[in-house]
Amino acid sequence: MGRQLRCVAAISVLALTMVAFSGAFSPAQAQELLLTNLVLNNYEGRIRVRFGIEPSGLERITQFLASGERLALHCRARLAQKRDYVWNQEVSSAVWESELRRLKSGDFVVTLPGQGPMADKDLGVLFRKHLNEILIDLGSWDRLERGVTYVLTLDLALGRPDVSPWIKKGLFFWSFDAVRPVSYQLDFTY
């Protein structure tokens, strides 16, 4: 009798937990991060990737921030030598991270690496002013060989860093991101 009671209690707790978190863990509703003004160039002998980010919609991001969530903007740039019959050979990679949050005063804040926090009342203006020119350094330009085809891949994600890894792994089929992660690719021959 005690074992059955514990089993019923455990199932009830699990069901209540799923109902309570169903709104907080809902999928990203097809919003994504759009890439703007992508430039790959040689700046003082360094491979520089410059681009901007603009969300396709602000409703879901605003909803997360208004509920007190912090959001982490994660940008990963990878440069690889393109190969036909095997995997591309990575030349270099780098990560750029930022954080979005909302203050009690109602201002939206983005914390940029090396620059500190920037605030604005309008989330759209914050994206246009402070996330329209992201710079990622991919190392020395000398790594590139003339006549070789390369692939630049940008992975962009806006997720919730406060979600425990064991929950993410346990509910691997569920999206914990505020916006669906996207990947962009640029092939070029040097």
Give residue-wise pLDDT tens across range 17-35.
554 444 444 443 557 889 9
10 Å CB burial of residue 131 (0-12, 13-18, 19+) is: buried
Q: Is the dihedral of CA 188, 179, 165, 68 positive or negative?
A: positive
Distance in angstroms (rounded) separating the CA atoms of residues 81 and 153: 11
Cα distances (Å, whole numbers) of residue 79 to 6, 148, 151: 54, 12, 6
The predicted model gives 118-125 an average pLDDT of 90
pLDDT of residue 173: 60
**Percent of the chain topping pLDDT 90:** 50
Quickly count: other Cβ atoms within 10 Å of residue 46's Cβ: 13
Binning pLDDT at 50, 70 and 90, where does residue 160 land? confident
Rg over alpha carbons for the chain, rounded to the nearest Å, is 21
pLDDT of residue 98: 94
- pTM value is 0.75
Q: Which element (helix H / strand E) includes 9? A: helix 2-21
Binning pLDDT at 50, 70 and 90, where does residue 168 land? low
pLDDT of 63-106, one tens digit each?
Answer: 889 888 899 999 999 999 998 888 989 999 999 999 999 998 88
Cα distances (Å, whole numbers) of residue 66 to 100, 102, 111, 123: 11, 7, 17, 11
Outline where DSSP puts E strands in 57-133. 71-81, 89-102, 108-112, 116-120
pLDDT exceeds cutoff 70 at 1: no
Distance in angstroms (rounded) separating the CA atoms of residues 106 and 121: 7
The better pLDDT of the pair 155, 56 is held by 155
Q: What is the mean pLDDT of the chain?
A: 82
pLDDT exceeds cutoff 80 at 136: yes
Which tokens belong to 118?
Answer: 């920037």
Binning pLDDT at 50, 70 and 90, where does residue 171 land? low
